[in-house]
Amino acid sequence: MPKSSVPSLFQHFSGRFGSSSGPLPQPIARVSEYGLYGLLTGCVLMGTAFLTNPIPDPSFPWATLPASFRVLYTQPRIEHWPVTYTVGLWMIVFTLPLVLLHAYQRYGPDSRCAASWWLTGVPVVTMMVFTTYCRFFWPKLNPATWNAPSYTLVCWAYCSSYIPFWSDLAYAVALVGIGMVSLAYRDSPWTTYGLAAWGILAFPLGIPALCDAYRRYTAKKQTTTT
């Protein structure tokens, strides 16, 4: 394939999406700026647990600091994890979607990639990766607990029970997300509703898809009024 045809082919695929990579609405853009700070704060809180508890996460007993680095105080635990570790992990869960939004706001409008690749495609891939990890690779703790940080509600149902049905359902939700990206690619009139539905099914990881649906809705409304 000639080199000159590669950009045009990429533009063809991006151009098939009915929504270009325009900036996010200002209220959403402002909120997304706090996502990175929240994620970093969560990492710091998780790291604090290593200074107080010999084994902060029993799933990974090898992840520990020498006793000489730890303080004398030992944190209480919420189920399996120390308090700051739990709070930090949940902060990461809820701020990751904002980080994805901020990444789109910063790099998406200047890229050749359509908005739905960023705002829906990336969360779909992320959900597939996390679902596979939790199902097959995560060292599960016993007993299962309600305090199992998860990136979607359906994933939480699996991680808090270990019932395979919920993991299968998580895969089904991810496949629905792939279908929604396909709708966006074909510029289907149902795209906005489909993205909104998937964003709810995959909440909170689906927040970027909800924002994409809102962005499409407002853009269409402005076009109609003008």
Q: Give pLDDT tens digits for 41-90.
A: 999 999 999 999 999 999 999 999 999 999 999 999 999 999 999 999 99
Does residue 10 fall inside a structural domain?
no
Nearest residue to 199 (alpha-carbon basis) of 219, 176, 216: 176
- pLDDT of 13 reads 43
- pLDDT of 105 reads 87
* Residue 9 confidence (pLDDT) above 70: no
Q: Give pLDDT tens digits for 185-224.
A: 887 888 899 999 999 999 999 999 999 898 888 877 766 6
How far are the Cα atoms of 47, 71, 72, 138 from residue 67, in angstroms, in the given order? 15, 8, 9, 26
Q: What is the DSSP letter of 67?
A: G
Does residue 8 fall inside a structural domain?
no
Does residue 57 fall inside a structural domain?
yes
- pLDDT of 12 reads 44
- pLDDT of 157 reads 97
Does residue 197 fall inside a structural domain?
yes
Q: Which domain holds residue 142?
A: 23-225
The phi and psi torsions of 135 (rounded to 5 degrees) equal -75, -40
What pTM value is reported for the model? 0.85
Least reliable range by pLDDT among 32-36, 45-49, 108-112, 200-204: 108-112
Does residue 13 fall inside a structural domain?
no
In contact, 83 and 73? CB cutoff 8 Å: no
Mean pLDDT over the full length of the chain = 87
Does residue 15 fall inside a structural domain?
no
Does residue 6 fall inside a structural domain?
no
- pLDDT of 11 reads 46
- pLDDT of 10 reads 38
- pLDDT of 225 reads 65
- pLDDT of 62 reads 96
The dihedral sign for the CA sequence 122, 140, 67, 46: positive
Does residue 137 fall inside a structural domain?
yes
How many domains are there within the chain? 1
